[in-house]
A and B are shown apart, each in its own frame.
Chain A
């Protein structure tokens, strides 16, 4: 093959095109978010769009350099890079500058540098290096312990910096581990617990139980071909709920509809569990057990949060989860953000014509809430294009990762995809009120040199690895 050793010919230009598109669109929106009549020169470096332009230029140079470096460099220096960055994470705890309550920035001559941003690619490299060793078995205790150490060392120091958002990103590695053989049950229960925990804290009262009950019934329905079986299950729930409802009436205690429903569905599940154990219907037993567990877990979280914790502890947890406490009541930012996005309508108000996103309505306008500007000025057309672009990027990354010959490149490729995915999911989810307000940037879009550079490095190392996929190492 003629192309074997030609890096430039093997580069995946589709990814690079997507990268350029996202960076360009990001900058347009930062300009719009900061734009006002007094400052109009795009090169004005006192303004954020001017600074971002410098950082974009620097990012391109960085990308070019990465493509020039031999792939073996990344393999051999992965541990050293990781070590240096962990040291920087520790150093920043002592000499760093506090911004928004997080001590995670070095400032050198007016420019900020956030080591936790760069920690991501170093962690991905080390993980790829460790897991691609010949004979690696993921389910060995030693492997799991080492992987946990690799992932949680940076998490620990980032948490100490009080930057929980960045720390949560590392949980996305569970998808990489899953691809590399981690049992699907771990993924399922891990996801279930995380989702239930967040939902228990952000959705009020009864909604979550209704959703859980609905999902449980749906799975029963799908799993079962005989309608009569399903009717029996449905009846079990209905009768239990009615039973509690009547009990409520008779004893004249005001337990409320929510508690009646919860108690009823719990009883129903227990009945189904017992009957299915007796009749050896394994599937039913498992579903009702998972449902029971989920409800009890949610109740525990709810109860623990409301009753066992003092309110300043509650505030602390909210803060840790990044759910901002707001002196004026719940959801101020999210409401402003939703108004901004919703007001864009189908086609948007037009570039630079947004009104809601101009005046610092939402505090981190050009960083964490940049998606609001897209929503307001470009409408549904704009937001869906951005989402589709991200999805194409993510899916292409998976596709590229799967075509690698070396485990190292594949694992690293997956890591890139899941890190970008986590940022994408949390950031956009937050702006439309589907996620708690956790302040992490939207890759390539959000204002900020550290995050842009770190995502560029993350991505281009993989592009470089992919370009050398025919090499042996």
Chain B
């Protein structure tokens, strides 16, 4: 006998082993365990998905921003449906017979034995009536869902909204099933994983009359839903509401940041919309209306509007000049006002000016000379340009400054290569790219980046990633929020620049509209050239001068000059934030700002 033939015993043993296991399992299942018998007597096992409540969102002071309300879905299991009173059914649900028929045939096509949603988001009132009558309709049952509700109309863009998952969401993440909700923009999207919680499953036994008889195996196989984590935002609701009030009938954006932490205190994109419009069954209709609105309320200007920074960029060029020793504190340049070359100055002022005066007067001639010195400080203009480029880059210009705003633009910061392509290598110099000296030309920034720039000025040389989340219940916020990003400019050089910014607010015409009693705000106005209508009004500022608590950037489309709208509005928000009120002698400015209508793209000069 072949020695290998003994191996038949191993094979036979494997067969026998499996057989014995099967018989033991079946004995347990069929003879010892009587629970299955119970379940089977006229009972049907129904799995009900338990949808967790979505996490709440609070403002930085613990005020509720977003919470939930309950709605109900009606589900159908076509196999279990028997003849029913369709008229009563349609009346209860306020739907037409055709809707019902198409709904049922759609569900049947999906599956005869798996439940699918027939009618979504039934209100609690209607549900209360329906519940009483539901026993008459076999094969139908309900499940509760939560919808978003908002405590105010504030911060629609920042909070974002929730909607039904798309086919590609389901493809990407197997957690989602058709009909589930998912955060589509803002915090709802960025923190979807934390807010959504985890779905659970409840195994119910229902009898032939569709009445729930209890849970399967005493619920021991149920998987409870885990509710979403609550999130505390960095938003200050009062400031946010105030900013939105100031921005009524205007287009533009505000971003306010706490400089020492990078926490975003307010972020407005105007015109805004009521976030409650994008909830529930009316969402689709409202969404297309908002989308069709010519004022583009859905467009998030704080992150997506991109334009040259204009004069607000001047403090940065001066800082670079000082750090590079291209200019000194005692350096003075003469200015011939409108007659200055190669860049005209906007107005006549004392001349020559030093650093502080140049910033106060926003002198283009000074800035041109500074910029030229920076570029000529190296062997070639291109090398000088790269030195300048790296400083600007370190201020977050042309960069993604925040991971917390998933869809923000990077903006534009032209490179040496860019100019080489246009003019040819070695064929361009400071004169060619002179518009960069006054913040015009190929530069493109977003309000978020400019507010962050305000933070850097306030902090005298560093920033924390701007972010909108302060705390997640039972979870950590991103470590990157705690990294101190330093720019390569010595702290001492900020002193004259900030002095210039303080004088801008206190020793120019701004003193009448934007000086806050007892608070020293430092700021810089800007005017952004606009070919399609009036120029845009911009202003970057921080306050108080020592130990700043707020850095702010305001941008009013077609606001003509920085001093006309952006600066006074910024001063009001800063005052409101720091003192909780507006001093009585500034009430008229507040009223003028609130009442101003700047929606017409052509504004008087």
Chain A residues at the B interface, C-beta cutoff of 8 Å: 175, 178-181, 184, 310-312, 314-315, 325, 327-330, 332, 335-336, 338-346, 355-356, 359-361, 363, 375-376, 379-380, 383-384, 387-388, 390-391, 394-395, 398, 402, 414, 417-418, 421, 424-425, 428-429, 432, 434
Contact = CB atoms under 8 A, between A and B. Distances in A.
Given A179-B8, A329-B201, A335-B203, A342 B29 contact: yes
Contact of A178 (B11, B177, B203, B223): B11
Interface string B193-205: 0000000010100
B205 to A, nearest CB: 10
Interface in B580-595: none
Contacts of B171: 312
Contacts of A402: 5, 8
A425 B18 contact: yes
B177 A327 contact: yes
B273 interface: no
Contact of A395 (B12, B18, B177, B221): B12
29 contacts: A181-B4, A311-B174, A312-B171, A312-B173, A327-B177, A329-B201, A330-B201, A336-B45, A339-B45, A340-B40, A341-B26, A341-B36, A342-B35, A342-B37, A342-B39, A343-B39, A344-B30, A345-B31, A345-B37, A356-B40, A363-B113, A375-B26, A387-B22, A387-B23, A390-B19, A391-B19, A424-B18, A434-B21, A434-B25
A338 B29 CA distance: 8
A327 B114 contact: yes
B33 interface: yes
Given A179-B4, A330-B201, A336-B45, A384 B114 contact: no
3 nearest CB pairs, A to B: A342-B36, A343-B40, A329-B201
Contacts of A327: 114, 177-178
B84 interface: no
B112 A180 contact: no
A329 B200 CA distance: 8
A328 B114 contact: yes
Contacts of A428: 22
A398 B40 contact: no
A330 B29 CA distance: 19
Contacts of B25: 432, 434
B532 interface: no
B330 interface: no
A329 B48 CA distance: 9
B79 interface: yes
B42 interface: yes
Contact of A342 (B33, B49, B113, B203): B33
Contacts of B5: 402
A380 B27 contact: yes
Contacts of A414: 11
A311 to B, nearest CB: 4
Contact of A328 (B8, B23, B115): B115
B172 interface: yes
Contact of B30 (A184, A379, A425): A379
B142 to A, nearest CB: 15
A360 B36 contact: no
Given A343-B36, A375-B30, A314 B19 contact: no
A329 B47 contact: yes
B16 interface: yes
Contacts of B128: none
Interface in B151-208: 171-175, 177-178, 201, 203
B15 interface: yes
Nearest to B201: A329
B7 interface: yes
Contacts of A363: 113
B19 A339 contact: no
B511 interface: no
B282 interface: no
A341 to B, nearest CB: 6
A464 B545 CA distance: 101
Contacts of A425: 18
User: Which of B18, B35, B172, B173 has the most C-beta atoms of chain A within 10 angstroms of its own C-beta?
Assistant: B18
A376 to B, nearest CB: 8
Interface residues of B, number: 50
B40 A339 contact: yes
B30 A346 contact: yes
Contacts of B27: 380, 384
B112 A360 contact: yes
Contacts of B201: 328-330
Interface string B273-314: 000000000000000000000000000000000000000000
B173 A432 contact: no
Contacts of B41: 343
A179 B25 CA distance: 29
A54 to B, nearest CB: 27
A384 B26 contact: yes
Contacts, number: 136
A312 B8 contact: no
A432 B112 CA distance: 24
B10 interface: yes
Contacts of B19: 387-388, 390-391
B73 to A, nearest CB: 14
Given A342-B29, A380-B31, A434-B21, A325 B36 contact: no
A184 to B, nearest CB: 8
Contacts of B48: 328
Given A379-B30, A383-B26, A421 B15 contact: yes
Nearest to A384: B23
A375 B22 CA distance: 12
Contacts of A434: 21-22, 25
Nearest to B44: A361
Contact of B16 (A310, A346, A383, A391): A391
A346 B114 CA distance: 30
Nearest to A401: B8
B173 A329 contact: no
B174 A325 contact: yes
User: Which of B15, B25, B35, B41 has the most C-beta atoms of chain A within 10 angstroms of its own C-beta?
Assistant: B15
Contact of A398 (B11, B39, B45, B172): B11
Interface in B95-121: 112-115
Contacts of A424: 18
A341 B31 CA distance: 10
A180 B4 contact: yes
A312 B172 contact: yes
B394 to A, nearest CB: 36
A51 to B, nearest CB: 21
Contacts of A432: 22, 25-26, 29
A356 B25 CA distance: 20
Contacts of B113: 359-361, 363
A417 B37 CA distance: 35
A100 to B, nearest CB: 13
Nearest to A393: B15
Contacts of A383: 26, 30
Contacts of B37: 342-343, 345
Contact of A341 (B10, B16, B29, B42): B29
B36 A338 contact: yes
B175 A355 contact: no
Given A338-B36, A361-B113, 11 more contacts: A310-B173, A325-B174, A327-B178, A328-B114, A329-B47, A342-B29, A343-B37, A343-B40, A344-B30, A345-B31, A346-B31
B14 interface: yes
A196 to B, nearest CB: 17
A424 B180 CA distance: 39
Contacts of B29: 338, 341-342, 432
A340 B45 CA distance: 11
Contact of B172 (A310, A325, A343, A429): A310
Contacts of A341: 26, 29-30, 36
A402 B19 CA distance: 21
Nearest to A429: B22
